[in-house]
């Protein structure tokens, strides 16, 4: 019983430590998603040129999603005409380059990890774009498109299909501060929380259990903490593999990353671990349903290579610049609630969240929660698979 209470205490303390940051991040994300229409996003992502991929990355970073919703959104954009590579770039950015992730990394592990995440994300996207250009064949992409058009359910398709942006015309300010704007922001805010809450709770509980029950000596041995060079080589290789079997994704893996960092994983290994939220076992199964087994295997291989490579680059660059922090800077909160700046920030942002939730309920948002896990209404499976004479590539017919 003492061990269980210790694990729950750590999980609860972590939750209290990051609550205000999550609310702030999701609020800012809701503002962006309320103003930017989904049709605009699709129109801007029609190819895989560097400028388009940079725009996809920026749009993803300005939004926010749980990993499941991000994967479903990428398929929805792909089906509507976005280039596959651009859709994947937005998928990566919307889970790994968002505000709340950066703030939580800074709170639990240090600002260096925030900088590393926001530096490594674009590096990973560039590496993936190159790998896709070299190895993604037209045949594999045609198979993926045919499978995507079948509309097989994975997770969060209903949420991904919803466009909750403000439809009225006018300037940014007039749209945002209108009654419709407040309703739209509250809808996006609550829906994003509903999508992320399961993964966040699981991540906090897993991190609490591991921090409380797994001795530091195990992690030091597992990550070769006593051998600096071996640890730097091993960390980016093993980090994504630990993520795959942990079943924890999105922001929920940051508390676990803090535990692994305290345990001895390398700096680059932490970065690679956090990136791997998009190849955990349940999401690999969703890739199989969305795009077929061959594309799922292709995504696993290319994502893993890009994560490992980005981890090595970050390890080399940040180590060379002396930006790798000491492990003592990472916090595994276990002191519960105390009267400090975190408590006051939590009070303020919980009031903001309560106002948004109240408006969500008042403006008819409850039925949306029931639809978020269902299939999109426009799903229509094709009658026959495409042949080679009408091959689609990235939303364009050749």
Digit-coded pLDDT (tens) for 53-90: 999 999 888 776 677 778 888 888 888 888 999 999 99
Q: What digits encode the pLDDT tens for the residues 89-142?
A: 999 998 888 888 888 888 888 899 999 999 999 999 999 999 999 999 999 999
Residue 335: CB atoms within 10 Å: 11
Contact 194, 370 (CB under 8 A): no
Query: Which residues, other chains included, contact 40 with Cβ-Cβ below 8 Å and sequence gap of 6+?
Result: none
Q: How far apart are CA 365 and CA 345, in angstroms?
A: 27
User: In which band, very low, low, confident or very high, does the pLDDT at 38 lie, cut at 50, 70 and 90?
Assistant: low
Sign of CA dihedral 4, 6, 10, 13: positive
User: What's the burial of 95, exposed, middle or buried (CB within 10 Å: 0-12/13-18/19+)?
Assistant: buried
pTM for this predicted structure: 0.76
Q: What digits encode the pLDDT tens for the residues 313-349?
A: 999 999 999 999 988 777 666 665 666 777 888 899 8
Q: How far apart are CA 390 and CA 172, in angstroms?
A: 41
Distance of alpha carbon 121 from the chain centroid: 11
Q: How far apart are CA 207 and CA 258, in angstroms?
A: 8
pLDDT given at position 62: 78
Query: Which residues, other chains included, contact 240 with Cβ-Cβ below 8 Å and sequence gap of 6+?
Result: 272, 273, 275, 276, 279, 304, 307, 308
Percent of the chain predicted with pLDDT > 70 = 81
Contact 186, 231 (CB under 8 A): no
User: What separation, in Å, do the N-terminal and C-terminal C-alpha atoms of the chain show?
Assistant: 64
- Beta bridge partner(s), residue 397: 392
What is the dihedral angle through the alpha carbons of 106, 109, 114, 116, rounded to the nearest 10 degrees? Answer: 160
**Nearest partner of 329 among 261, 228, 260, 254, judged by Cα:** 261
* Cα radius of gyration rounded to whole Å, the chain: 21
- Report the b/e string of 299-329 with b at 16+ CB within 10 A: bbebbbebbbbbbbbbbeebeeeebbbeeee
**Nearest partner of 235 among 148, 149, 147, 327, judged by Cα:** 327
Residue 379: CB atoms within 10 Å: 16
Q: Which residue has the tokens 């499976």?
A: 381
Query: Which residues, other chains included, contact 156 with Cβ-Cβ below 8 Å and sequence gap of 6+?
Result: 66, 68, 69, 71, 72, 195, 372, 373
pLDDT given at position 172: 61
pLDDT given at position 102: 87
């Amino acid at each position: 019983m003492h061990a269980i209470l210790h694990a729950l205490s750590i999980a609860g303390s972590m939750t209290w430590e990051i609550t205000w940051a999550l609310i702030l991040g999701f609020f800012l994300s809701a503002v962006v998603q309320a103003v930017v229409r989904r049709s605009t996003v699709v129109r801007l992502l029609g190819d895989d040129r560097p400028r388009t991929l940079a725009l996809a990355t920026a749009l993803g970073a300005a939004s926010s999603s749980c990993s499941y919703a991000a994967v479903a959104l990428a398929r929805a954009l792909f089906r509507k005409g976005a280039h596959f590579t651009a859709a994947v770039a937005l998928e990566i950015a919307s889970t790994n380059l968002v505000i709340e992730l950066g703030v939580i990394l800074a709170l639990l592990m240090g600002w260096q990890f925030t900088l590393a995440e926001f530096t490594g994300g674009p590096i990973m996207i560039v590496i993936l774009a190159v790998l896709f250009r070299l190895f993604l064949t037209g045949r594999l992409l045609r198979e993926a498109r045919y499978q995507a058009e079948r509309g097989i359910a994975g997770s969060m398709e209903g949420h991904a299909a919803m466009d909750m942006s403000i439809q009225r015309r006018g300037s940014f300010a007039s749209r945002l501060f209108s009654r419709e704007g407040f309703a739209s922001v509250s809808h996006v805010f609550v829906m994003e929380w509903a999508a992320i809450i399961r993964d966040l709770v699981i991540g906090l509980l897993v991190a609490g259990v591991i921090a409380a029950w797994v001795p530091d000596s195990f992690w030091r041995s597992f990550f070769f903490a006593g051998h600096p060079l071996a640890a730097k080589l091993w960390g980016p290789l093993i980090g994504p593999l630990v993520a795959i079997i942990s079943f924890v994704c999105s922001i929920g893996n940051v508390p676990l990353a803090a535990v692994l960092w305290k345990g001895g994983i390398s700096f680059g290994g932490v970065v690679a671990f956090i990136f791997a939220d998009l190849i955990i076992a349940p999401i690999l199964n969703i890739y199989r349903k969305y795009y077929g087994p061959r594309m799922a295997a292709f995504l696993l291989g290319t994502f893993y290579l890009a994560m490992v490579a980005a981890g090595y680059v970050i390890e080399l660059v940040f180590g060379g610049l002396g930006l790798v922090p000491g492990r003592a800077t990472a916090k595994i909160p276990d002191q519960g609630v105390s009267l400090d700046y975190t408590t006051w920030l939590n009070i303020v942002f919980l009031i903001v969240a309560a106002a948004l939730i109240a408006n969500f309920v008042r403006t008819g948002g409850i039925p949306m929660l029931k639809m978020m896990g269902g299939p999109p209404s426009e799903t229509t499976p094709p009658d026959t698979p495409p042949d080679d004479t009408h091959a689609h590539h990235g939303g364009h017919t050749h």
